[in-house]
Structure 1
Amino acid sequence: MPDIYLPDTPKGSRFGWPRPARLEEFKTRLEARGLATDRIVFQGLNQDLPIIRIPIDLPKYRLVNGRTASLQVEHLAINADLRPDLFTGDPEMWDAQEVQHELLLKLGRLSDLDDYFEDTTHKQVNPLLLDEEGFVVNGNRRLSMWRQLLHDEPQKYGHFEHIEVVVLPHATEKDINRLEAQLQIEKDIRADYSWDAQANMMIAKMERDDIKAEELCKLYKMKDTDFAQLLDMRAYADEYLRSRDKANRWSEVSSQEHTFQRLVQSRSKLSGVGRKEIFKEAAFALIDDPTAVGRLYIAIPELAANLDKVVERLASEMDLDTDAPDDGLEDLFGGGLSDESDAQQTGLIQALKDPAQRAQAREAIGDVLETERQVKKDVKKAGYLLDQCAKANSYLTAAAKEGLRPESKLTGVAKQLDEIETRVAAIRAYLAEHA
Structure 2
Amino acid sequence: MNYNYKVNIRPQHERQKSLNELLNSTSRTFTSYDVFEGKPEILKVVTLPLHFPIYRMSNGRTQTHQLAYISEKGSDPDFFSLGEENASVQQIQHDILKIFAHEGTETITPIIDELERAKQQTEPLLITPAGIVVNGNRRLAAMRELYHAHPDDFSVFKNVECAVLPPLDIQQIDDIEIRLQMTPETKLPYSWIDESLKIKKQILAGRKEEEIARLMRKKPVEIKKSLSALNYADMYLKEWKKRPFDYSLVEAGEQFFYDLVSSLKGKENQLLEANIRMAWILFDNRTNLGSRIYSFNKILGEKAQDVLSNLSERLEIDTSPENENTPEFDSEFELQNNEDSYQPLISIFEDSSRQDEVFDELRAVCQTILDSAKTAKEGKSALSAVQDAHTRLLEVDLTKADSNTYKGIDRQLQEILNKAAELREKLKEYLKSIIV
Q: Distance in 1 between matches of 2:390 and 2:316?
A: 27
Quick one: which of 54, 58, 61 aligns to 1:60?
A: 54
Q: Mean alpha-carbon deviation: is it higher for 218-227 or for 249-258?
A: 218-227
Tell me by how many angstroms 1:315 deviates: 1.0
Q: Distance in 2 between matches of 1:337 and 1:386?
A: 32
Question: Which aligned pairs between 1:211-222 and structure 2 lie closer than 5 A?
Answer: 211-222=207-218
8 A Cα contact 2:307 2:365, kept in partner: yes
The equivalent of 1:77 in structure 2 is 71
Which amino acid in 2 is paired with 1:59?
P
The answer to whether structure 1 residue 301 and structure 2 residue 298 are counterparts is yes
Tell me by how many angstroms 1:420 deviates: 4.4
Q: Distance in 1 between matches of 2:356 and 2:401?
A: 25
User: What is the CA deviation profile of residues 48-87 of structure 1, one whole-angstrom value per residue up to 9, with x for unaligned ones?
Assistant: 222221111111111111111122111111011x344212
Quick one: which of 224, 230, 255 aligns to 2:220?
A: 224
Q: Secondary structure at the match of 2:42?
A: strand
Question: Which aligned pairs between 1:62-141 and structure 2 lie closer than 5 A?
Answer: 62-80=56-74, 82-89=75-82, 91-111=84-104, 113=110, 115-117=112-114, 119-141=116-138
Q: Secondary structure at the match of 2:54?
A: coil
The equivalent of 1:281 in structure 2 is 277
Q: 1:29 to 1:336 in 2, by over 3 A?
A: farther
User: What is the CA deviation profile of residues 102-141 of structure 1, one whole-angstrom value per residue up to 9, with x for unaligned ones?
Assistant: 2211222233636514635342111110112211111111
The equivalent of 1:328 in structure 2 is none
The equivalent of 1:19 in structure 2 is 12
8 A Cα contact 1:67 1:197, kept in partner: yes
Q: 1:361 to 1:192 in 2, by over 3 A?
A: same
The answer to whether structure 1 residue 235 and structure 2 residue 231 are counterparts is yes
Which amino acid in 1 is paired with 2:93?
Q
Q: Secondary structure at the match of 2:25?
A: coil
Which amino acid in 1 is paired with 2:201?
A
Tell me by how many angstroms 1:433 deviates: 4.2
User: What is the CA deviation profile of residues 363-418 of structure 1, one whole-angstrom value per residue up to 9, with x for unaligned ones?
Assistant: 11221222233334434447x3784487368548848x965997555164445555
Q: Mean alpha-carbon deviation: is it higher for 360-369 or for 108-117?
A: 108-117
CA RMSD in angstroms comes to 3.4
Which amino acid in 1 is paired with 2:255?
H
Q: Distance in 1 between matches of 2:6 and 2:21?
A: 20
Question: Which aligned pairs between 1:355-434 and structure 2 lie closer than 5 A?
Answer: 355-381=352-378, 384=380, 387-388=383-384, 391=387, 394-395=390-391, 398=394, 407=402, 410=409, 412-434=412-434
Which amino acid in 2 is paired with 1:267?
L
Which amino acid in 1 is paired with 2:65?
L
The equivalent of 2:256 in structure 1 is 259
8 A Cα contact 1:233 1:264, kept in partner: yes
Quick one: which of 179, 182, 187 aligns to 1:182?
A: 179
Q: Distance in 1 between matches of 2:112 and 2:210?
A: 39
User: What is the CA deviation profile of residues 4-41 of structure 1, one whole-angstrom value per residue up to 9, with x for unaligned ones?
Assistant: xxxxxxxx973442222222222232233542433434
What TM-score does the superposition give when structure 2 sets the normalisation length? 0.82
User: What is the CA deviation profile of residues 179-237 of structure 1, one whole-angstrom value per residue up to 9, with x for unaligned ones?
Assistant: 22221135469952111111122223333x34343432232222221111111111111
User: What is the CA deviation profile of residues 132-174 of structure 1, one whole-angstrom value per residue up to 9, with x for unaligned ones?
Assistant: 2211111111111111222233233222111111001122223
Q: 1:41 to 1:346 in 2, by over 3 A?
A: closer
Which amino acid in 1 is paired with 2:283?
I
Q: Secondary structure at the match of 2:225?
A: helix
The answer to whether structure 1 residue 164 and structure 2 residue 178 are counterparts is no
8 A Cα contact 1:117 1:123, kept in partner: no
The answer to whether structure 1 residue 316 and structure 2 residue 313 are counterparts is yes
Q: 1:167 to 1:122 in 2, by over 3 A?
A: same
Q: 1:425 to 1:239 in 2, by over 3 A?
A: farther
Q: Mean alpha-carbon deviation: is it higher for 130-139 or for 172-181?
A: 172-181
Which amino acid in 2 is paired with 1:134?
G
The equivalent of 1:38 in structure 2 is 31
8 A Cα contact 1:313 1:364, kept in partner: no
Q: Secondary structure at the match of 1:192?
A: coil
Q: Secondary structure at the match of 1:89?
A: helix
8 A Cα contact 1:293 1:369, kept in partner: no
Quick one: which of 47, 67, 71 aligns to 2:41?
A: 47
User: What is the CA deviation profile of residues 334-358 of structure 1, one whole-angstrom value per residue up to 9, with x for unaligned ones?
Assistant: 9999858544x10101111111111
Q: 1:173 to 1:288 in 2, by over 3 A?
A: same
Q: Distance in 2 between matches of 1:354 and 1:133?
A: 53
Which amino acid in 1 is paired with 2:369?
E
Q: Secondary structure at the match of 1:156?
A: coil
Unaligned runs of 5+ in 1: 1-11, 323-333
What TM-score does the superposition give when structure 1 sets the normalisation length? 0.82
Which amino acid in 2 is paired with 1:218?
R
Paired residues, number:
408
Q: Distance in 1 between matches of 2:215 and 2:401?
A: 68
Q: Secondary structure at the match of 1:100?
A: helix
The equivalent of 1:192 in structure 2 is 189
Q: Distance in 1 between matches of 2:94 and 2:284?
A: 32
8 A Cα contact 1:320 1:348, kept in partner: yes
Q: 1:180 to 1:190 in 2, by over 3 A?
A: closer
